[in-house]
Amino acid sequence: MKLPKTTKRLCPYCKKHTTHTIKNQTFKGLNKTHTMSRGSKPRVKARGLRRGTGNLGRFSKKAMGSWKRYGKKQTKKTDLRYTCKECGKTHMQKKGTRTKRVEFT
Ligand SMILES: [Zn+2]
Q: Can you list the pairs that 21-29 forms with residues at least 24 positions away whose Cβ atoms lie under 8 Å? A: 21/82, 21/83, 21/85, 22/80, 22/81, 22/82, 22/104, 23/80, 23/81, 23/83, 24/78, 24/79, 24/80, 24/81, 24/102, 24/104, 25/79, 25/80, 25/81, 26/79
Residue 8 Cα to ligand 1 midpoint, Å, equals 11
Residue 7 Cα to ligand 1 midpoint, Å, equals 13
Residue 31 Cα to ligand 1 midpoint, Å, equals 31
Instruction: pLDDT tens for the chain, 105 residues: list them.
Output: 899 999 999 999 999 999 999 999 887 877 788 888 887 888 888 888 777 777 777 788 777 777 776 667 888 899 999 999 999 999 999 998 999 989 998
Residue 88 Cα to ligand 1 midpoint, Å, equals 6
Please give the pLDDT value at position 98: 93
Residue 92 Cα to ligand 1 midpoint, Å, equals 13
Query: Model's pTM, two decimal places?
Result: 0.66
